[in-house]
Structures are given as C-alpha cells and as structure tokens.
Amino acid sequence: MTLSSHFAILVVVVPLVMAPLVAVLPSRSGTPWLVATLTAFVSFLLAIGVTQQVMAQGVLLYELGNWPVPFGIGLVIGPFAALLLLVITGASLGALLWGRASMNQEVGEEHQSLLYACWLLATAGLVGITITGDAFNVFVFMEISALASYVLVSAGPSRQALTATFKYLVTGTIGATFYLIGVGYLYMMTGTLNMADMADRLSQVSDTAPVLMASGFIVLGLALKAALFPMHAWMPNAYRYAPTIVTVFLAACSTKVALFVLIRFDFLILQPNLGDHALLFTTILMPLCIVAFLVGSTVAVFERDLKRMLAYSSVAQIGYILLGASLVSSAGTTAAILHMFNHAIIKAALFMAVGAMVLRYGSSRISDIAGAGKSMPWTMAAFCVAGLSLIGVPLTAGFMSKWFLIQAMLEIEGIGYLVVFLILVSSLLAVVYIWKVIEVAYFQEPASMPQGEPPRLISEAPMPMLLMIWLLAIANIWFGIDPSLPLGLAGMEVQQLLGASR
C-alpha cells in the first residue's frame, strides 16, 4: 500500500490530529497561525490528490481499518464530494492566508492558539461530513464542525457575538438532532447505517410510514443547518458578529456541506425508494427556494451593514442552489453543484474584500466606507469583480451557474418560465445592493471629521490580504470562462446520482 491510497482518510485525520497540537502552542508567538496554515495547506494538497484519484476512478472507496463495508465504516468520495473537498480545504487555507491581520485586530493575541485549534477541528468536521459513507458518522462530524464553529463565532469582537452564537447553537443542535431522529427511523427499518447498504435494503420497506417520517426529519434538519428560508434566522447575525476571518470560512463552505448531505441523502437513498419522492421533494422545496432568493435579495437591498447584507445574499444563493436540485433532473442538479462551487468563490472574495475594509475602517456599516474607492482602490476593484459575478454578468463564474440554472428551468416549461422571470428579478435586486455599496465607496465623500481633528488616512489593505482577494477575483473570471473543472465533476456526479433512475 502506498501513501496515496490513504489520502482519503488523511485529509480528515491531518487537521484532526494537528488541532490539539495547535491548542498548546504559545498564543502570542504567531506559531499557531503558522502551524494551522501549514496544516491547511497539507489538507488542500491531499484534497487535490483525492480529486485526481476520483477523476480517474469515478468513486473512491476506502475501508477504515480494512473492515469490509457495511461492517466497518467506509469512506465514499464521489465527484461532488471531491469538489466540495476542494472548496472546504481551499476556503480554510485561503481564509487563513488572508486573515492574519484581521484576526489580530478583531480577536487579540491572547486566545489565538485555541481559536486556530477550533479552526482545524471545524475543517476536519466539514471534511468528514463530505467523505464519509456512514449516516451516523455524518452526525458526529456535523457536531464536531458545529461545536468548533460556535466557538469561532463567539470569539467576535462585540458582545452581540455571544447572543448570535447562542442562537446558532440552538438552531444547529435542533437541526442535527432532527437529522439524528431521521437516521434513527431509517436504522429501525433497515438495520444498517451504511448509506449504500441502506439504499439497497430500503427497497423492501419502501413507502412505509417510518421511512416517510425519516425523510421529513432529515430534510428539515439539514435545511435548518443549511439556512434555507424560512430557517435562516440564525445566519445573518452569526455572520455579522463573528470575526471576519471566520465569516469568510463559514460563508464559503459550512452551509454547503449541509446542502451536500441533503442532496446526497435524498437522491441516493430516498429517491429510488419512495414512490412520490421526486414530487414531494419538488413541491416542498421549490416554493421555499423561490421565496428564499426573493426575500434574501430584497432584505439585502435594505440592509445597512455590509456583512449582514452579504449574509442575506447567501440566503438567496442557497435558494438558487437548492432550486436546481429540487427539479430532480440532471440539468438542475448540475446547476446546483456548479453554483455551490461558484458561490463559494464569489462569497469568499466578497467577504474578504469587506473584511479588508473592516480592518481599515473599523466598521462594517455601508455608510462608513465612503471614499473607499479612492483610499482602497484595489480592494474595491476586486469587490466590483466579485459583485459582478454575484449578479451573474457574462464572463464571470456567477453567469455560468445562472445560465445552467435557467436552462434547467426552461427544460420543465410551464411554471419554469415564471421561475426564470423571478430569477431575473432577484438578479436585478442583486444589482441594486451591490450598486449601493459601489455608490457609497466611489461617489460619496468621506464624512467630515469634527472640527480640529485631522482627516483619517485610510491606506490600502495589507499585501497578503490583497493577494488572496485578487486570487479569488481572478478565479471568478477564470471559472466564468472555463468552468470545466466544476462542470466535469458535476457531470460525473449527476450520472451517478440520477443514472439509475433515467
């Protein structure tokens, strides 16, 4: 056995093992950041290795301790999981490289080693959810990542971070427990926790009451975790009051992991075994998704805080992602997977640009960043690129995902035309709220200082921040011109998910 055959497990073990080590490093020395970043870098390389293997083989199976599945726990990494693995480890590495200055300013140096330890635990948890093939394992990893994320959010600079975390904790725990109940019902009916095995055995007991209940609890629990409207109440404040570096990381990947589990559970396990599943899935989720992007975009227009505005925009984007999946068609699912990837790079770029402004202006209120276009030209330029991508202007990543989503909607005709119209309305709303920021940053004079005080001198963001922001802004354009990486993996996944049924 070569080392490369163990990449699948190493990608979760490496951050998990490094976390306690980081926790005992001296806080003020800067070593916790260095070690965490190196660990994230190694995880990212491992994720790339795993993705290459997945691209060659289709699905990567790994039996823990050589116990044959379903007796032991197996890791199952499909193309979708590989793509998400890249997003998670990439977001973790990118945010760490970007955010050292931001972390020092917002959190102080005292507790940094513990926070970076939690960071690695959160990464390990999210990675674990993505790669495991065991339904209960998903719950455990979900709680590992959730508990670590609560600690990260609560470290925010103002005291509102605490109340926001409490709300996040309560909602997250209810969501995870609902998922656990659903898995319990499925275990009751099948006697197995391995997802593939479960899908096989469910066919003998399909359409029974417990299985229906299970699907309800699982969808509801994961929708809570994914902040699908109207279960998004925890998200805006958690994103607003968390340290910005944490917001960048969580916004890029944490809700998407819940969506990933939702899509995989429903398509792989429930879809072949529940007669009305496709119909139920569509009729329940599609209206919620439509309301999600309309409400999310509308609230974002009226929001006066940059971080909360982007959080509400995330509510809308989650609507788009799940809208694609709710069609249960290959075009729709491709759009969902593609947008999940694109939204991660869009939101990471936007939050990074906002974080740089928070660093320099000490505030995330839109009215406070007047004049940022002059004092931080590079940051604002990157914000504009990512903003255009969020809106879905051609030649950006956001355009690609909307293009595929609209094509998928046109396929179903009838109501599809109405939904396409609503997507365009929501995109116009995105134009409004992105423009609102651009207007203040470029066309408003900075508020005049009280008499006698010299005007504040705002300088451009520090170099590491700027590099990461631009790297992501360029990624937005790159994947807008050549989306072959996410699209190729999405295509492979759709064949596996829906191949059996059509």
Partner 1 sequence: MTPTSNLVVTALGLLNYWVYIFLLCVGLYAVLVKGNYVKRMIGLGIFQSAVFLLYISMDKVDGGTGPIFQGEPVAGQIFSNPLPQVLILTAIVVGIAVTALGLALAIRIKEEYGSIEEADTQRMDREA
Residues binding partner 1 (CB under 8 A) = 136, 139-140, 143, 147, 150-151, 154, 159-160, 162-163, 165-166, 169-170, 173-174, 177, 180-181, 184, 187-188, 191, 193
**Largest separation between any pair of C-alpha atoms in the chain:** 81
Closest CB to partner 1 among residues 143, 460: 143
406-412 CB contacts, 8 Å cutoff, 24+ apart? 407/331, 407/335, 408/324, 408/327, 408/329, 408/331, 408/332, 408/334, 408/335, 409/327, 409/332, 411/327, 411/329, 411/331, 411/332, 412/327, 412/329
In whole angstroms, give the CA distance from residue 252 to residue 343.
Answer: 7
Smallest separation, CB 185 to partner 1 (Å): 8
Smallest separation, CB 154 to partner 1 (Å): 6
Angle ∠(382,384,387) on CA atoms, nearest 5 = 110
Shortest gap between Cβ of 141 and partner 1 (angstroms)? 11
Q: In angstroms, what is the minimal distance from the CB of 249 to partner 1?
A: 19
Taking the complex as a whole, how short is the minimal distance between the CB of residue 106 and partner 1, in angstroms? 16
**Closer residue to partner 1, CB minimum distance, 167 or 288:** 167
Helices (H), 191-305: 195-202, 209-226, 235-241, 244-264, 277-302
Which of 151, 352 has the CB closer to partner 1? 151
Nearest distance from C-beta of residue 266 to partner 1, angstroms: 21
The minimum distance between CB 196 and partner 1, in angstroms, equals 18
235 φ/ψ angles, rounded to the nearest 5 degrees: -75, -50
To partner 1, the closest distance from the beta carbon of 231 in angstroms equals 12
C-beta separation of 120 from 152 below 8 A: no
Per the CB < 8 A criterion, the answer to whether 360 and 458 are in contact is: yes
Answer whether 422's CB lies under 8 Å from 294's CB: yes
Q: Which is nearer to partner 1, 145 or 476 (CB)?
A: 145
Give the nearer residue to partner 1 in terms of CB position, either 96 or 176.
176
Closer of 174 and 432 to partner 1 (Cβ): 174
Taken in order 302, 306, 308, 309, the sign of the CA dihedral is positive
The residues pairing with 132 across neighbouring beta strands, listed in sequence order, are 75
Q: How far is the CB of 104 from partner 1 (least distance, A)?
A: 22
Name the residue nearer to partner 1 (CB basis): 258 or 388: 258
Q: What letter would DSSP give residue 364?
A: -
The total of other beta-carbon atoms located within 10 Å of residue 28's CB is 11
Residue 305 Cβ vs partner 1, minimum distance, rounded to whole Å: 13
- Positive or negative torsion for Cα 62, 272, 86, 355: negative
Tokens 């990947």, residue located: 253
Residue 188 or 449 having the CB closest to partner 1: 188
Pairing verdict, β 60-63 and 74-77: antiparallel
Give the C-alpha separation, 246 to 149, whole Å. 8
* CB nearer to partner 1: pick between 54 and 193: 193
**Closest CB to partner 1 among 308 and 347?**
308
Give 279's contacts (C-beta < 8 A, 6+ positions apart). none
